[in-house]
Structure 1
Amino acid sequence: MSTPNRPTPGAPRSAGPNSAAPGGTAAASKTGTADVVRIPRPAGGPGRGGPFAGMNVPAEKAMNFGPSARRLVGTLRPERAWLLLVLVMGVASVTLSVIGPRLLGEGTNLIFAGVVSRELPAGVSKAELIAQLRAAGENQRADMLTPMALTPGEGIDFAALSGVLLWALALYVLASAFMWVQAYVLNGVVQRTVFGLREEIEAKIHRLPLRYFDSIQRGELLSRVTNDVDNISQSLQQSISQAVTSVLTVVGVLVMMFILSPTLALIALVTVPLTLGITALIAKRSQKLFVAQWKHTGELNGQIEETYTGHALVKVFGRQREVEERFRQKNVELYDASFGAQFISGLIMPAMTFIGNLVYVGIAVVGGLQVASGAMQLGDVQAFIQYSRQFTMPLAQLGSMANLLQSGVASAERVFSLLDEDEQSADPASGVPPNGAGRGRLVFDDVSFSYSPDKPLISSLSLVAEPGQTVAIVGPTGAGKTTLVNLMMRFYELDAGRITLDGVDVTSVPRRELRSRLGMVLQDTWLFGGTIRDNIAYGRPSATEDEILEAARATYVDRFVHSLPEGYDTVLEDEGSNVSAGEKQLLTIARAFLARPSVLILDEATSSVDTRTEVLVQKAMRALRSDRTSFVIAHRLSTIRDADLILVMEAGQIVEQGTHASLLAAGGAYARLYEAQFAAPVAEI
């Protein structure tokens, strides 16, 4: 909804809080973004479309409140025993709290009776005085004195009054103690539940196929994992406490009101249908706005994360105005949804307060008449007025709790939709790992695969890579080179055919075991916030210091590390921003060197290093590739001249294969690629 006082949106001041570096295994796609959430992928495979692709997330469907709320409550099932204790503490606290006004009413009766008795003549009994009043025709005064416990002329009984007040004090202290225990236990219940939910989400993310991350914005996913889970925590914490206390208070107060005066209790009950009706009317309107609020929050986070991750590109191409305008639009959408949701749901409390005030007036008038007629004492009316406040306040809280509940369930639905996503196929229960003595004989047997069923990419592809062989894969962009190695790693599942490693079908091997035998160095580097030593040891955490240093020397990391102030203890900042792009790539190569896998996959692994260092790294790679299978994806053909087998791919097919010399002699696709890089004359276009 639009509002007349909506602030004029301005340029973004800072990136959102929910950006995070990808973790775990290296990303499989050429984009290097393994954490990206539900955007239709542009034609041509995953990870394409430029830095602004996928920013328009499709609108979420209207929230199915009932099932999502029941499922959210179901997450508390393991805490049943503690929730029972919360209920017991709530019953004890509320019971003592509702007895308090009754005691205070007795205190008021003692004071009022004492004040009245002081004005009466001493030396006569209460019965004699009432008889005298009736004989004098003062029946109303006689009726008012009848229910009072007084002795004419004595005044206030301070001993009895002190006892009542001490009992009231004790009750309220105990009620507060029980309430504190209830809050303490409930906090543990909620935090353990949310802790388990976060663990479930973390485990789910690791079971999701890479295809899912190719279809969702990273910021949107992070918003579900952080913002929505935090909102669930706050909603559970506040709504459970309010619900338990408010319901018990309503029941307890209602019982006490009927004990004091059934007539006044019926007047108070008029608020119940009014409260339920108003709450349902307001909640129905605000529900959709809460769903929109959290949807727009996720979209805004996704846009901020995407834009600020590529901040340098935005500056280079001068797209600041477009980015700011998109931010303004999304910020306005979030403002409208948030303002509407909070404003409409915020109407509940004022409405409940208004109804409570009407009931207060009704009770005061009818109660005054009953005191005058002798049907009730003044203290009882005072206690009833307190009960009426205690009765309408929890009803108002229950109504306003719809605000919290709707917001929490909207977040829960977004989290549950993540938990309900289709997972990658399960690992075999007792898979047979590849032969430990094998050195990486990899066979593609009639393999077919496509990202989209209507757009085939790889069809009936077969090849054999022997141990110790270096297989280079070349071809134009989009030919399927990276897809081929993604299939080796089982980042994607085959449509047909099979891949075997050392004679064992990779689908019969647990993914963890399979990937421990495959090493991958990507064109897009990934380093985490830690020391250089830690980043190298990531390839094999059990490696000794000597093995780490050996890998660093072999890959020429040692050369630049000694120029850093702390050497190998230098802490990398912001994904390695304090080292150059080439140095980051050397670190990832050292990491793979340390792992010493059976099959080594190099995806443009030296694209960021200078020519001289590349020659040195190629020497190190030859030593690393010794007696193991290596796949090298390269665009610079100079780096794969010595490969044992060169595969030329076009449109998902191997159109040529052979050595560098044989392919040049054939004069086919490889020769044309080679000539385009090295032999083609410079032509003026």
Structure 2
Amino acid sequence: MTTQSISESAKFPIADARSVWHEVRRALHGQGTRLITVVATMVVGAALGLVPPWALGRMVDTVIDGNGTGRIWLLGAAMIGAALAFAGFTSLGVILSSRLFETILARLRERMFTTSLSLPLERVEAAGSGDLVSRATDDVEEVSRAISTVVPALSTSLFTVLLTAVGLTALDWRFLAVLVVALPIYVFAVRWYLRKAPAIYAAERAAMGLRAQQVLGGVRGLRTVHAYDLSPRLAERIGSHSWEVVRWSMRARIVQNRFYGRLNSGQFIVMAGLLVAGYLLVGADALTVGATTTAMLLFLRLFAPIDDLLLVIDELQSALASLARIVGVIEVRAAQESEEGEGDEGRTAESRKPRLPSRGALAVRNVTFGYAPGRDVIRGIDLDVAPGETVAVVGSSGAGKSTLAALLAGVRTPDSGAIRFGGVDIVDVPETERAQRITLVTQEVHVFAGSLRDDLALANPAADDAAMEAALRTVLAGDWFDLLPDGLDTVVGDAGHPLTPMQAQQLALARLVLADPPMVILDEATADAGSAGASLLERAARAALDGRSALVVAHRLGQTRDADRILLMENGTVPEEGTHEQLIARGGRYCELWDAWSMHR
């Protein structure tokens, strides 16, 4: 299997029509009264729309019969009243239907967001963060835009077409026959469009997801991009994916134009057929001129809704493609729930899962892992971290240090071997419990938008202000905390009080203190401090780790001296292990790295 095929297979699925309908029905739960109200309002509005053509036809007969102007004024008043009522009921129907469908979209969006947060990080990374982000932004926006454009067209046009067809039939069945004869043209056009368009729109949305992934990757790794002068190569890749989006967009426009051409042909044939039918019926005295006028006005009234109904199929297909991608994310969690079992059976299965102890040793036995089959990044690792012990992991870039950290934290699942905490395999326990026992802190920390109190409460909602302040001072953040304008109420994050990279790392360490896990994994968590703040942040990390078991992926070799034990990683293995003094005395690869670091620090 190629890397490309592996990547494609790891993408979040796209739901089929049955699954989309199931989720929409689920989102409609409790909205039955609102749905009935919408239908009733639109039916009344469409019925009122039949009054003006009928009244105008009666006016024509009144003029021909010479019955005076009084009846004409009465019919005119009826037309005006019906037109105003039609506008009112139609507007109300559009508003009610839009609110109903926005409620459905909001519920689907919430389910997708909840699902995204509950998915293992490994699953999200395998699919690509750009895919998930594009579904949560571009696809949601596409469906929301369709609600504001497609829903009004469908709401008004569908009921108008149905009731107008009833009105034409009441006048004379031959008028309806003209529409029936021309119907195959519209059916052919719609079937052709539905056969061509969905795949193109789905490909367009997928291309947008890949483009978003390239852009997000470049933004998140901006320092690396600048450091290695990767901007031209990155811009070329983004440009390539952008042109892929353009290519699919152009194919979609071509299909649209061909669809519109077929619709125009159908409109011409229907218009000509109705004119001929009206001429023959009036000539044969089968209908009055007024009745024929009513029929033509009804058709003209029908003409625009049919166009609107068919033309919004274009936007509807795009929205349905986006909706299928949204539901596809929801299905990932649904599939996991079905595997684990639901209801009492699921709760029983959950209760049978082993629980991690509050403290214990971390034991790694013969662990092997690779991001692609046949390409192992970690090979046969054995490791023990005793309660309260600090183990440092060093090695050159690409040795597998961060991958090992992700495996021990449960972010990745080993291909073979076992990782146990307190004798329990961490793969077998719920993710939330695993995170409470083994916490991973990386150099990529996030400051959430909101007050500093809310940011800290994410780690421990029960913590009071005193505990939060104590946690900040534990990690040596008291100096800048005391200068905040509103203390814990200070808004941080986007559009708030800016925090430096070092302060953001201290905030992450303060969260760690509040969460109080027995085992901590620091993956180069002090790497972004810069030389000026390195010593302070390293002391903050030591204070946060006090009394806990820890595995520290060291960015600077100076961090290793205080560790109880040091592992040197090379090519996914651990060729050297021991204390700092033991490894220096051995004169191996660690000694070489230490000498090189000592010379250039």
- Normalised by the length of structure 1, the TM-score is 0.74
Q: Which residue pairs with 1:543 in the alignment? A: 463
Cα contact 1:353–1:396 (8 A) shared by 2: no
Instruction: Report the Cα distance in structure 1 between the residues aligned to 2:166 and 2:293, rounded to whole angstroms.
Output: 16
Instruction: Report the Cα distance in structure 2 between the residues aligned to 1:42 and 1:99, rounded to whole angstroms.
Output: 60
More deviation, 648-657/378-387: 648-657
Query: Aligned letter for 1:77?
Result: R
| 1:106 is aligned to 2:58 | yes
Cα contact 2:512–2:544 (8 A) shared by 1: no
Query: Aligned letter for 2:146?
Result: S
Q: Which residue pairs with 1:13 in the alignment? A: none
Instruction: Report the Cα distance in structure 2 between the residues aligned to 1:531 and 1:597, rounded to whole angstroms.
Output: 24
Which of 71, 90, 115 is the aligned partner of 2:42?
90
Instruction: Report the Cα distance in structure 1 between the residues aligned to 2:578 and 2:107, rounded to whole angstroms.
Output: 54
Instruction: Report the Cα distance in structure 2 between the residues aligned to 1:535 and 1:603, rounded to whole angstroms.
Output: 21
Which of 627, 637, 656 is the aligned partner of 2:576?
656
The structural deviation recorded for 1:592 is 2.0
- Residues 421 and 587 from structure 1, CA distance in 2 versus in 1: closer, same or farther, beyond 3 angstroms? same
Cα contact 1:532–1:570 (8 A) shared by 2: yes
Which of 329, 350, 355 is the aligned partner of 1:429?
350
Cα contact 2:143–2:320 (8 A) shared by 1: yes
| 1:507 is aligned to 2:418 | no
Question: Highest CA radius of gyration, 1 or 2?
Answer: 1
Cα contact 2:510–2:544 (8 A) shared by 1: no
| 1:267 is aligned to 2:178 | yes
Instruction: Report the Cα distance in structure 2 between the residues aligned to 1:377 and 1:106, rounded to whole angstroms.
Output: 10
| 1:156 is aligned to 2:89 | no
Alignment of 1:319-468 (within 5 A): 328-342=239-253, 344-346=255-257, 348-349=259-260, 351-353=262-264, 355-421=266-332, 429-430=350-351, 431-436=353-358, 438=359, 440-468=360-388
Alignment of 1:281-300 (within 5 A): 281-300=192-211
Alignment of 1:593-604 (within 5 A): 593-604=513-524
Alignment of 1:7-156 (within 5 A): 40=3, 68-78=16-26, 79=28, 81=32, 82-114=34-66, 155-156=67-68
Which of 201, 209, 216 is the aligned partner of 2:112?
201
Cα contact 1:359–1:388 (8 A) shared by 2: no
Deviations 1:85-111 (A, max 9, x none): 433433333233235422332232112
Runs of 5+ unmatched residues, structure 2? 341-345
Instruction: Report the Cα distance in structure 2 between the residues aligned to 1:390 and 1:455, rounded to whole angstroms.
Output: 66
- Residues 167 and 450 from structure 1, CA distance in 2 versus in 1: closer, same or farther, beyond 3 angstroms? same
Alignment of 1:466-477 (within 5 A): 466-477=386-397
The structural deviation recorded for 1:320 is 5.5
Return the structure number with greater helix share: 2
- Residues 42 and 276 from structure 1, CA distance in 2 versus in 1: closer, same or farther, beyond 3 angstroms? closer
Question: Helix, strand or coil: the match of 1:631?
Answer: strand
Q: Which residue pairs with 2:343 in the alignment? A: none
Instruction: Report the Cα distance in structure 2 between the residues aligned to 1:334 and 1:450, rounded to whole angstroms.
Output: 32
The structural deviation recorded for 1:276 is 1.9
The structural deviation recorded for 1:600 is 2.0
Cα contact 1:345–1:402 (8 A) shared by 2: no
Instruction: Report the Cα distance in structure 1 between the residues aligned to 2:421 and 2:283, rounded to whole angstroms.
Output: 97
Question: Helix, strand or coil: the match of 1:462?
Answer: strand
Instruction: Report the Cα distance in structure 2 between the residues aligned to 1:494 and 1:344, rounded to whole angstroms.
Output: 47
- Normalised by the length of structure 2, the TM-score is 0.84
Cα contact 1:539–1:595 (8 A) shared by 2: yes
Instruction: Report the Cα distance in structure 2 between the residues aligned to 1:644 and 1:468, rounded to whole angstroms.
Output: 10
Q: Which residue pairs with 2:122 in the alignment? A: 211
Q: Count residues in correspondence.
A: 585
Query: Aligned letter for 1:101?
Result: P
More deviation, 340-349/539-548: 340-349
- Residues 628 and 291 from structure 1, CA distance in 2 versus in 1: closer, same or farther, beyond 3 angstroms? closer
Cα contact 2:361–2:386 (8 A) shared by 1: yes
Cα contact 2:449–2:496 (8 A) shared by 1: yes
The structural deviation recorded for 1:489 is 1.9
Instruction: Report the Cα distance in structure 2 between the residues aligned to 1:577 and 1:313, rounded to whole angstroms.
Output: 26
Instruction: Report the Cα distance in structure 2 between the residues aligned to 1:275 and 1:186, rounded to whole angstroms.
Output: 26
Runs of 5+ unmatched residues, structure 1? 1-38, 44-53, 115-154
Cα contact 1:527–1:576 (8 A) shared by 2: no
Instruction: Report the Cα distance in structure 1 between the residues aligned to 2:461 and 2:520, rounded to whole angstroms.
Output: 18
The structural deviation recorded for 1:491 is 0.9
| 1:633 is aligned to 2:581 | no
Identity %: 27
Cα contact 2:523–2:553 (8 A) shared by 1: yes
The structural deviation recorded for 1:380 is 0.6
Query: Aligned letter for 2:432?
Result: R
Question: Helix, strand or coil: the match of 2:55?
Answer: helix
Instruction: Report the Cα distance in structure 2 between the residues aligned to 1:474 and 1:324, rounded to whole angstroms.
Output: 33
Deviations 1:613-651 (A, max 9, x none): 544555554444343211111142221212222222333
Cα contact 1:108–1:378 (8 A) shared by 2: yes
The structural deviation recorded for 1:202 is 1.4
More deviation, 499-508/197-206: 499-508
Instruction: Report the Cα distance in structure 1 between the residues aligned to 2:239 and 2:552, rounded to whole angstroms.
Output: 45
Query: Aligned letter for 1:608?
Result: D
Deviations 1:4-42 (A, max 9, x none): xxxxxxxxxxxxxxxxxxxxxxxxxxxxxxxxxxx9589
The structural deviation recorded for 1:312 is 5.7
In angstroms, what is the RMSD of aligned CA positions? 3.8
